[in-house]
């Protein structure tokens, strides 16, 4: 451990990364109770953000960027759900500084990550969307309009209080390229075949992947 009045500031910079409580204790060669105390001190200084991984396992992301009052896309995605089984934490989050990050941007970002954890979490964002014109423009730019429409229909099945997508968005989505595409290469659904067929988009989720939304 570093000694001195500013030791936790120095420690926070030196410990950049993601940890479980156990790996944090091992890194510093301290016991569990001491690790909890050190994380508490680093949190008070603004270094620590907490999230959850698979199986609701708690992770601590320690970074100087957490002190700089930016917001990561993962943070914005997690705002849409208080359920730790749905929330995400990436090893290398992308931060935005100096402006407000929109839920529409966060949704497109989540889809672009092309991994199951982000896709599951993205479904909660649909109940936060209120600027559908912005969402369409962002999706169009990234060639993700049909993917957004397909995931919206999945969200309507599992997420409470999802706002209705405007007819214009749906109509424009139907005019997009009709070739089948994957959200995640090689992944398709056993349970959402109707949505896949309608939008020509393979859904990388089954109903069992979305059980957390029913809790």
Burial classification of residue 78, based on how many CB atoms lie within 10 Å of its CB (0-12 exposed, 13-18 middle, 19 or more buried):
buried
CATH code at 10? 1.10.10.10
Do 141 and 38 belong together in one domain?
no
pLDDT at 43: 87
Do 34 and 8 belong together in one domain?
yes
Average pLDDT over residues 63-81: 83
Do 117 and 197 belong together in one domain?
yes
Residue with tokens 């016991």: 31
SS3 assignment, position 95: strand
Torsion angles phi and psi, residue 202, rounded to 5 = -80, 125
Bridge partners, residue 142, by sequence: none
Domain boundary among 17, 41, 68: 68
Q: Is the pLDDT of residue 95 over 80?
A: no
Q: What is the mean pLDDT of the chain?
A: 89
pLDDT at 57: 79
Domain boundary among 43, 68, 93: 68
Structural domain for 122, as ranges:
69-215
> Long-range contacts made by residues 204-212, C-beta under 8 angstroms, separation at least 24?
204/116, 204/119, 205/116, 205/119, 205/120, 205/154, 207/158, 209/116, 209/120, 210/120, 210/123, 210/154, 210/158, 212/83, 212/85, 212/86, 212/120
Do 63 and 92 belong together in one domain?
no
Domain boundary among 10, 35, 68: 68
Do 27 and 110 belong together in one domain?
no
Average pLDDT over residues 115-142: 96
Do 96 and 189 belong together in one domain?
yes
- Is 122:148 a contact under the CB 8 Å cutoff? no
Do 87 and 165 belong together in one domain?
yes
Among candidate residues 75, 61, 70, the one with its CA nearest the CA of residue 121: 75
Q: Is the pLDDT of residue 120 over 70?
A: yes
Q: Which residues contact 172 (CB under 8 A, 6 or more apart)?
A: 136, 145
Q: CA 210 to CA 215: how far, in whole Å? A: 10
Do 115 and 28 belong together in one domain?
no
Do 38 and 82 belong together in one domain?
no
Total domain count, the chain: 2
pLDDT at 6: 77
Do 20 and 7 belong together in one domain?
yes
Q: pLDDT tens digit string along 18-58?
A: 899 999 999 999 999 999 999 999 988 888 888 776 667 78
Do 56 and 84 belong together in one domain?
no
Do 99 and 193 belong together in one domain?
yes
């Amino acid at each position: 451990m570093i000694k001195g009045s500013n030791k936790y500031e120095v420690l926070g910079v030196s410990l950049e990364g993601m940890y479980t409580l156990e790996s944090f204790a091992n890194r510093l060669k301290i016991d569990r109770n001491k690790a909890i105390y050190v994380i508490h001190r680093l949190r008070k200084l603004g270094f620590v953000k907490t999230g959850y991984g698979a199986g609701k396992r708690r992770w601590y992301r320690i970074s100087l960027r957490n002190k700089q009052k930016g917001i990561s896309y993962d943070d914005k995605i997690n705002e849409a759900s208080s359920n730790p089984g749905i929330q995400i934490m990436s090893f290398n989050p992308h931060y935005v500084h100096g402006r407000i990050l929109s839920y529409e941007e966060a949704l497109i970002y989540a889809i672009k990550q092309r991994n199951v954890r982000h896709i599951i979490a993205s479904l909660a964002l649909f109940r936060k969307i209120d600027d559908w014109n912005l969402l369409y423009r962002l999706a169009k730019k990234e060639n993700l309009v049909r993917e957004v429409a397909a995931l919206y229909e999945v969200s309507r099945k599992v997420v409470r209080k999802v706002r209705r997508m405007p007819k214009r968005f749906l109509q424009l989505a139907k005019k997009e390229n009709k070739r089948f595409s994957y959200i995640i290469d090689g992944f398709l659904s056993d349970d959402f075949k109707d949505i896949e067929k309608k939008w020509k988009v393979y859904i990388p989720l089954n109903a069992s992947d979305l059980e957390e939304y029913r809790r």
